[in-house]
Amino acid sequence: MSPRRAETGGRIDRLRTIRFTFDDAPYTGHAGDTLASALLANGVTLFGRSFKYHRPRGLLAAGVEEPNALVTVLRGEVREPNIAATMVEIYDGLVAVSQNRTPSLAWDIGAINQLGGKILSAGFYYKTFMGPVIGPMKGTRFWMFCEHFIRRAAGLGKAGTASDPSRYERMNAFCDVLVVGSGPAGLMAAKAAADQGARVILADLEAHFGGSANWSGETIDGMPAADWAQRAVKQLEGNDNVRLLPRTTVWGYYDGNTLAALERVTDHKEAPAKGEPRQRYWAIRAGTVVLATGSFERPLVFPGNDRPGVMLAHAAERYANEYGVLPGQRIALFTNNDSAYRSALALKKAGAAIVAIVDVRSDVSNEMRKLTSEAEAELLAGHAVIATEGGKALTGLKVQRFDFMSGALSGDERSIHADCLLMSGGWSPTIHLASQAGAKAEWDPARQAFLPPKPTQRWIGAGAFTGSFSTAEAIAEGRAAGLQAAGGAASPAPLTVVEAAPGDPDPAPIFEIKAKGKSFVDFQHDVTAEDVRLAHREGFVSVEHLKRYTTLGMATDQGKNSNVPGLAIMAEALGKPIPEVGTTRFRPPYTAVSIGSLAAERFGDLKPERLTPMHDWHIANGARMYSAGLWYRPMIYGLAGETVEQAYVREAKATRESAGIVDVSTLGKIAVQGPDAAEFLDRVYTNMFSTLAVGKARYGLMLREDGLAFDDGTTWRLGEQEFLMTTTTANAGKVMQHLEYFLDVIWPELKVSVTSVTDEWAGAAIGGPKARAILAACVTGTAVDNATLPFMGIVHGQIAGVPVMICRLSFSGEMAFEVYSGAGYGTHVWEALIEAGKPFDLVTYGLEALGTMRIEKGHVTGAEIDGRTTARDLHLDWMLSKKKPFIGSAMMDREGLVANDRLQLVGLIALDNRPLNGGGHIVEELDEANPHDSLGHITACCYSPALGKYIALALVKGGKARHGTRAFVSDPLRNRFGPIEIVSNHFYDPDGSRMHG
Amino acid sequence: MAEYSAFSLLKNALTGNKDWKPAWRKPDPKASYDVIVIGGGGHGLSTAYYLAKEHGITNVAVLEKGWLGSGNVGRNTTAVRSNYLLPQNTRFYEHSMKLWENLSHDLNYNVMFSQRGCLNLAHTPAQLDDYARRGNAMRHLGVDADLMSVDQIKRLVPALDISGSARFPVLGGLMQRRAGSARHDAVAWGYARGADRRGVDIIENCEVTGFLRDGGRITGVSTTRGEIRAKKVALAVAGSTGRVMQLAGISHMPIESHVLQAFVSESLKPIIDTILTFGMGHFYISQSDKGGLVYGGDLDGYNSYAQRGSLPIVDEVMSEMVALFPGLARVRMLRSWGGLCDMTMDGSPIITTGPLPGMYLNCGWCYGGFKATPASGWCFAHTIAKDEPHEFNAPFTLDRFYRGLVIDDKGQGATPRLH
Amino acid sequence: MADHQLPERLSPLEPEYHPGSHGNFEHGVDVILSETRPGSILQLAAWPSEEKRLIEAIRKVTGLALPDGAGGGVSNGGRAAFGFAPGKFTVVDEAEGLAAAFAGAITPAIGTLTDLSHGRTAIRIAGPKAEWVMAKFFAIDFALPAFPLGAGRSTNHHDIFAQIQRSGADQFDIYVFRSFARSFWKALCHASEEVGYEVQ
Amino acid sequence: MLITCPYCGPRDVIEFTYQGDGNRERPQPASQNLDAWNAYVYDRLNPAGDHNEIWQHSGGCRSHLRVVRNTLTHEIRSTTFARGGHKSADNRAEGRS
């Protein structure tokens, strides 16, 4: 038997022994143990080091609020830092290590900070480290020098860089009633709601349902409370309409009664089953929420209250009753309220000696006096603990007479030997979720606690959450809440009989004992009562200033232990009641949640891949792909040994000399249908579409409402009331929403429907002098000669037995055709075109060659239509119809949009015959050392096989007037400087003779 | 001798820290001032500070409805940078950067400005070109900028997944080395103390409930602490601009109020030594001196004054985070909060005289307000003192939208949620 | 052209479609995944106030009588129809050529017809854990009372838009954009591993 | 936040795209009143309280909705189709009458 494990008792499985290590030392525990209880059972008292002073710390709590005992759990290379040992269920092979200590927990060099003492007071860093105003350490340098060391000293656990192999998942859930917390109140609420037929979810952050019933030692309905809870759970398990979620922390209460919860599915297992997630993120949309989240016991603030061995009273009770572990053999208690007496008795029953109960109150009730004598303890009423003794474990404490009206200490100090001191500063309801839901907590002077506000969303409170601390009240309120949440009528129920220790729920309003020595308010962050008073002295008196100046409540426990004591000390300093100091609003999360769980199913799969119908063909045929938004598109089809430039030059050259084919399936395609389709397009595009003949296509330009260019593309008239609009790949979704907005909101009278048909069609653009011959060789059912298929004409036919639609339009500047077929036939048609093209030296080309040919032609794309350019800037003013208003027409002529010095589209030729870079700038005077006075920038560039030169498109101030002038490219980022000539953007075949053929 | 120094810390430690003075006084408002600055956030406080320091105007009150610094100066991710695309923005933010670089000395308050750089990751060739355009634009204005290779990035941030197998592999990045982060609250407190020591009255818990007028001219404000008159009334209430302007009878502004969430992880030993942004989404991250990872992403995307975040953005931000750092999946998000952003129609701010006589307006900080704090106050003080803008803020007029002179760094047009 | 002359359509799932049992199937297969490959997927949209005539046209052409109510639908062997937006319906037939059959029935006065037979990929999930797996992706209530038999829903999983019809008590047909289908399929298989799945 | 689409029922906000201030009036297409256009494009009421706004159910039926939502509490007061002819959220089934 380990040193502190009681012979009997607890809800652990003593037949199952579990082996684990902590800081490389092997230990054993039992199934049902947490890391905290198992280590405690093994006699471990030192669990962690504090943040600032690196003081030795033991367990303060037994649950989620533990601020001291933080460990890192290792799974191979994968690290999980900052986990409270109280929340780690042990499993065989568990490896846990302590944190924030060098070299070891017992001997930590960082403890030297304690010598800094009063220099390292709250906010000291704001007052120093500024460094000299002159010299090599001026400016920010001295601070950054100091910061280097400060950063390494700060921080808790160490995160890993090894990728987490775990799976995370999301689950969307809907229910009538979500019950948060499975203590007596929550269990009763769940049962009452389930009995009404409601869909119920019951969630509890602990591994086992039951809450305080698991360790209270009370009797409910004649059976031990823990058994009563188990019976209730069994009943719920049998219901189809109930989902039970143990190990599930409801951490966020969002708008619309949407709650976020984290289920730790396999953290307690050696390994997950196949496909089983480590954690599951529940997004729960609840009709009504029952908040039965219980309450936290508060520490008291007195000198030495952080010494290992000083613990919350209920935590010790829980270690004894739930885990069969005694946190000490000789236990003293220090309290301002009645609940500690019950704890004393429980520990006595578990086998410890209770050496004293120190109560700040002088008038202790007879009931409590009776409990004291049952515990065979000495009662020191009207006393306070003023110091603790010991090193890394408690050896004793000092008490003195205390006047709780004045706070004054008097009389002789008395020493008491004890290896464990339990404290109770009263209880704070766990109102975090209610506060997150959007309302301010209310201070209750009797309970000396913030109670939940009036609901602003659909929730009902029950039990200790509402300030009703007795189990009998919890059961009654839980049942009523469950009924109400399920819409059931209140009905008389057999009274549940609870046998519990008596006690007044109201504590004395004492939070701090002022005596010599460091008294901790925030344990993890080492914020002392003196720090709070210093903040007061310096004017940081509002609760938010207090928090921010001292870091009180900013530790991993988020103030669960420190909030109320901190406020109380500030309130006293200010001479104001606590509610006037304020309480901070709680925000999500209630407890820290893993980032992986929030990424959930998108961990390792951030965005879907969007693939064209010919994707697999491209891969199989050597295409190098790159992503364009979510799409993957071929960049080049490189031959062995080719550079990217060699490949695209070859592809572009071959296209202009014979023919090339490119996958254009990614272009946005929108079916615009209905009697008013033509009228609608006239309003949407700057140019006319109502005049377009059926069977013809037209290039169109759209503006935004503010008059700037938005998107361009061709639109095909397939029927009197049927158009196929194409958009740029990047803007497909935006254009669709733009059209839908105008049809729904602005012009609902128009009979037009728009549908995304991007995925319906596979598109292949085939261009070059031999393109028509290739089509003629494989298209059946239609001729493709100039008469049948003129420029911007559309025909229907078949290729390899598949219906196709062919439009003669050109982006490359060559005689070119876009061939559309049903997406399921895309590869079939593509392969047929390739086959037909073999005798004609057809090449496949990728986006690089596509870009090269468009630069040669001076066509614009997203690099030029960048949301800041106008039609005029891009020399597209010929498309602005004067015959009709269109979206953007009223705004496009405002002074700023027609100014002469705007950036305008031009072409550039590198006069030094060296490559240009996208994003290079243009200057009139070259100054490599101090570049200045940029005229504009390169939007796209390439080597032009057609011109035999390095060329670019650029946006240049007053660019049109600069045609024929010389300037310089100035690209300090890539150290590329050199002369250029500014020319028209139409480099190649400006009159379009090749495409008109 | 400086009030704050290592020596003063030592001296005070010896006397039990009993002699520290309040960082700023808590005066009652006077009946009138030369200038009233509405808004005790970073911008309002720095405006008051520079009015006193640069223009000798010390008969100034800063009115704050709640506690000082309760707005966005205390609810941001503390990035300081001047890596903008458009010259109007770059010049202004670079002026701010220069003020930042000497701010701790200027204020005798350590604002912990740490110039550990800001790296924008690029994931496509086109994006790399975009960043090159931006970096070159900065260089042509004398601002530091460099492109980093994948190898350099890997050395700088070893925890980053730079493998080619990532959904959006990292191809390079744009680095501004002088960028960095600072301690946000310290900026508010430092300016408050600096202004206070120069005679400015900082009045907390004083909510403006209306404007006093003489004819069309604004002559003061009514507040929860009485009427206060002033020759000039300046607004620096970003996040609440719409609400306050409505008190002045101006019902519409080219502004929407949006919520921006931010997040902090539990404290960790150093793992990210720079500010990093993701190019295929909207995500940025740095690590505070205390060790918490500080990160955020996109706006929630709808008008709100609630400071309440929505869940989908939480999920989105975390998804992008672990896409970049798959090793951080087990690190835990500790805290989240929401700040109110004045989103303008082009994503750039407004610092101007007017729009009413006697009024001066500083607003529209979108989510770039923190880094602007020094220059915003500096330029606003100039504008108030001289009744005309400084050249740094001359482009940031209110009428630029209507005249087609927008400063649209992202090219998104009049859709505030996209800036 | 007659249907039999057409080559077989290529499925976008092809390289990732692995018939057989996968995941944690040793404890039983709890969902079955398949691509149903209908020949025709149409979208029909009625002008406001013409909805009844459109519903009647659907009944005439397909024999499917749509129940009243938003998102109402019916699934009948090889054919299915459901509403997915105001005045808008998806109609599916295992055979090709349904567009031609509707050509005369949907006059310009009633509304429009858009053929999406290639543009949407139909994936079926069936089995006792179908609701559980679906809930991993979509924020809608899949419980039978909330999502009755035959009904349709439009929803999305981030970038992936989906129309879903309940075609059985524990069976759903999911229509996704073809270009996203492979990614969605892979994610669906991944999410099904936990319960054990079979691809048919 | 949940928005009750008149067609699809209550759905998570993730399915919707915010389309901004619903109070704005677009001038007649041929209007040359630049002030009116400027007001339409750039000016916002931006109230702290109930706000009339447009949302698109972009991840659902793709309808645009008029939503009255409180910007202080995010409470949604009403939801109707932006396009006439279809009824409000209270009458889902009537969408097809």
**All domains of chain B, ordered by start, with CATH?**
30-82+85-107+184-253+346-418 (3.50.50.60), 118-180+256-344 (3.30.9.10)
pLDDT at A25 > cutoff 80: yes
User: Are B416 and B365 in contact, with CB atoms under 8 Å apart?
Assistant: no
pLDDT at A166 > cutoff 60: yes
Domain with D25 in it: 2-91
A258 at D interface, C-beta within 8 A: yes
Which of A52, A126, A889 to substitute to test the interface with B, most B CBs within 10 Å? A126
**What are A372's two structure tokens?**
């004291």
Contact A530 B189 (CB under 8 A): no
Amino acid at C154: S
Determine the average pLDDT of the residues in D1-14: 96
Report pLDDT digits (tens) over A734-768. Answer: 999 999 999 999 999 999 999 999 999 999 999 99
Asked, for residue A948, whether it belongs to a domain, the answer is yes
Task: List, in sequence order, every residue forming a beta bridge with C9; answer none if it has no partner.
Answer: none
Structure confidence at residue A2 as a pLDDT band (50, 70, 90): low
Q: What is the CATH number of the domain that holds D59?
A: 3.30.2270.10
pLDDT at D78 > cutoff 70: yes
Asked, for residue A71, whether it belongs to a domain, the answer is yes
Say how many CB pairs under 8 Å bridge A and B. 351
Handedness of CA A209, A213, A215, A217 (dihedral sign): negative
What are the E-state strand segments in A465-619?
A: 498-499, 520-522, 527-528, 593-594
Domain match, A148 and A209 both: no
D-contacting residues in B 160-199 (Cβ below 8 Å): none
Cα D97 from Cα D77, distance rounded (Å): 24
3-state secondary structure of B290: coil
Contact A921 B26 (CB under 8 A): no
3-state secondary structure of A145: helix
Contact D18 B302 (CB under 8 A): yes
Find the range with the poorest average confidence among A910-919, B45-54, C66-75.
Answer: C66-75
**What are A34's two structure tokens?**
């947490």
What are the E-state strand segments in chain C?
A: 20-22, 31-35, 40-46, 73-76, 79-85, 88-93, 111-115, 120-126, 152-157, 160-168, 171-177, 197-199
User: Are A954 and A938 in contact, with CB atoms under 8 Å apart?
Assistant: yes
Whose tokens are 């890997």? That residue is B154
Domain match, A416 and A435 both: no
Report pLDDT digits (tens) over C109-149. Answer: 999 999 999 999 999 999 999 999 999 999 999 999 999 99
Contact C68 D93 (CB under 8 A): yes
The radius of gyration of chain A's CA atoms, rounded to the nearest angstrom, is 38
Contact C136 A170 (CB under 8 A): yes
Asked, for residue A592, whether it belongs to a domain, the answer is no
Helix extents (H) in A790-934: 826-837, 847-857
Domain match, A93 and A190 both: no
Asked, for residue A384, whether it belongs to a domain, the answer is yes
Cα C21 from Cα C18, distance rounded (Å): 9
D60 at C interface, C-beta within 8 A: yes
User: Are A830 and A617 in contact, with CB atoms under 8 Å apart?
Assistant: yes
pLDDT at D97 > cutoff 80: no
Report pLDDT digits (tens) over B281-324. Answer: 899 999 999 999 999 999 999 999 998 899 999 999 999 999 99
Domain match, A7 and A139 both: yes
Determine the average pLDDT of the residues in A501-510: 95
Asked, for residue D47, whether it belongs to a domain, the answer is yes
Which ranges of chain B have pLDDT less than 50? Answer: none
Domain match, A139 and A26 both: yes
D49 at A interface, C-beta within 8 A: no
Q: Which of A460, A434, A428, A463 is nearest to A188 (CA)?
A: A463
Helix extents (H) in A89-219: 113-116, 141-153, 184-195
Strand pairing report for B60-63 and B32-38 = parallel
Element (H, E) at A512: none
Asked, for residue D96, whether it belongs to a domain, the answer is no
D7 at B interface, C-beta within 8 A: no
Task: List, in sequence order, every residue forming a beta bridge with A103; answer none if it has no partner.
Answer: A108
3-state secondary structure of A696: strand
Q: Which of A385, A400, A425 is the last residue of a domain?
A: A425
Which of chain D's residues have a Cβ under 8 Å away from the Cβ of B402? 34-35, 38, 42
Cα B360 from Cα B342, distance rounded (Å): 16
Which of chain B's residues have a Cβ under 8 Å away from the Cβ of A589? 333-336
Contact A891 D34 (CB under 8 A): yes
B256 at D interface, C-beta within 8 A: yes
A86: DSSP letter: G
Q: Which of A464, A445, A535, A487 is nearest to A123 (CA)?
A: A535
pLDDT at D91: 37
Domain match, A208 and A272 both: yes
Say how many CB pairs under 8 Å bridge C and D. 63
Give the burial string for B361-378 (b: 16+ CB within 10 Å, else e). bbbbbbbbbbbbbbbbbb
Task: Region of C110 please: left (phi>0), alpha (psi -120 to 50) or beta.
Answer: alpha
Whose tokens are 């997406």? That residue is A823
Cα A955 from Cα A936, distance rounded (Å): 5
Asked, for residue A252, whether it belongs to a domain, the answer is yes
Residues 6+ apart with CB under 8 A from C2: none
Contact D56 A744 (CB under 8 A): yes
User: Are C182 and A609 in contact, with CB atoms under 8 Å apart?
Assistant: yes
Distances (CA, A) of A858 to A700, A940, A954, A970, A989: 16, 10, 10, 22, 10
Asked, for residue D75, whether it belongs to a domain, the answer is yes
Whose tokens are 């933080």? That residue is A70
Asked, for residue D43, whether it belongs to a domain, the answer is yes
Domain match, A377 and A433 both: no
Q: What is the CATH number of the domain that holds A86?
A: 3.10.20.440
Element (H, E) at A627: strand A623-628
Cα A448 from Cα A563, distance rounded (Å): 12
Domain match, A25 and A141 both: yes
- Averaged confidence pLDDT in chain A: 95
Which of chain B's residues have a Cβ under 8 Å away from the Cβ of D14? 312
Domain with A722 in it: 668-756
Residue A675 burial (10 A CB sphere; 0-12, 13-18, 19+): middle
pLDDT at D96: 32
Handedness of CA A536, A538, A540, A541 (dihedral sign): positive
Which of chain A's residues have a Cβ under 8 Å away from the Cβ of C195? 275
pLDDT at A131 > cutoff 70: yes
Handedness of CA A655, A658, A663, A665 (dihedral sign): positive
Domain match, A702 and A733 both: yes
Q: Which of D21, D1, D22, D23 is nearest to D10 (CA)?
A: D1
Structure confidence at residue A3 as a pLDDT band (50, 70, 90): confident
User: Are A616 and A912 in contact, with CB atoms under 8 Å apart?
Assistant: no
Q: Which of A749, A677, D96 is nearest to C85 (CA)?
A: D96
Cα A723 from Cα A716, distance rounded (Å): 5
pLDDT at A493 > cutoff 50: yes
pLDDT at D90: 38
Cα A112 from Cα A546, distance rounded (Å): 26
Name the domain count of chain D.
1
The total of other beta-carbon atoms located within 10 Å of residue D90's CB is 11
Q: Which of B262, B320, B319 is nearest to B292 (CA)?
A: B262
Find the range with the poorest average confidence among A4-18, A741-755, A910-924, C83-97.
Answer: A4-18
Domain match, A53 and A148 both: yes
Give the burial string for A79-113 (b: 16+ CB within 10 Å, else e). bbbbbbbbbbbbbeebebbbbbbeeebeebebbeb
B330 at D interface, C-beta within 8 A: no
Residue C109 burial (10 A CB sphere; 0-12, 13-18, 19+): exposed
Task: Region of A655 please: left (phi>0), alpha (psi -120 to 50) or beta.
Answer: alpha
* CB-nearest partner of A863 from B126, B337, B402: B126
Q: Which of B257, B256, B255 is nearest to B396 (CA)?
A: B255
Task: List, in sequence order, every residue forming a beta bridge with C101; answer none if it has no partner.
Answer: none
**What are B190's two structure tokens?**
């430092």
Contact A746 D32 (CB under 8 A): no
Asked, for residue D97, whether it belongs to a domain, the answer is no
Asked, for residue A473, whether it belongs to a domain, the answer is yes
Asked, for residue A301, whether it belongs to a domain, the answer is no
The alpha-carbon gap from A826 to the nearest alpha carbon of chain D, in Å, equals 28
Domain match, A745 and A697 both: yes
3-state secondary structure of A451: strand
pLDDT at D88: 37
Which of chain D's residues have a Cβ under 8 Å away from the Cβ of A741? 19, 54, 56, 64
* CB-nearest partner of D61 from C68, C69, C86: C86
3-state secondary structure of A712: strand
pLDDT at A515: 95
Which of chain D's residues have a Cβ under 8 Å away from the Cβ of C52? 96
pLDDT at C185: 98
The total of other beta-carbon atoms located within 10 Å of residue A891's CB is 23
Q: What is the CATH number of the domain that holds A940?
A: 2.40.30.110
pLDDT at A796: 98
Find the range with the poorest average confidence among A357-361, A380-384, C178-182, D22-26.
Answer: D22-26
Whose tokens are 């994936």? That residue is C123
Q: Which of A393, A408, A425 is the last residue of a domain?
A: A425
Q: What is the CATH number of the domain that holds A739?
A: 3.30.70.1400
Contact A744 D64 (CB under 8 A): yes
Torsion of CA A93, A94, A99, A104, to 10 degrees: -30
pLDDT at D87 > cutoff 60: no
Which of D46, D50, D52, D67 to substitute to test the interface with B, most B CBs within 10 Å? D46
The alpha-carbon gap from D87 to the nearest alpha carbon of chain A, in Å, equals 14
3-state secondary structure of A762: strand
**What are A443's two structure tokens?**
């201070």
Torsion of CA B86, B89, B94, B96, to 10 degrees: -170
Q: Which of A382, A402, A425 is the last residue of a domain?
A: A425
Domain match, A484 and A343 both: no
Name the domain count of chain A.
5
Task: List, in sequence order, every residue forming a beta bridge with A866; answer none if it has no partner.
Answer: none
Which of chain D's residues have a Cβ under 8 Å away from the Cβ of C69? 92-93, 96
Report pLDDT digits (tens) over C179-190. Answer: 999 999 999 999
Determine the average pLDDT of the residues in A92-105: 93
Asked, for residue A606, whether it belongs to a domain, the answer is no
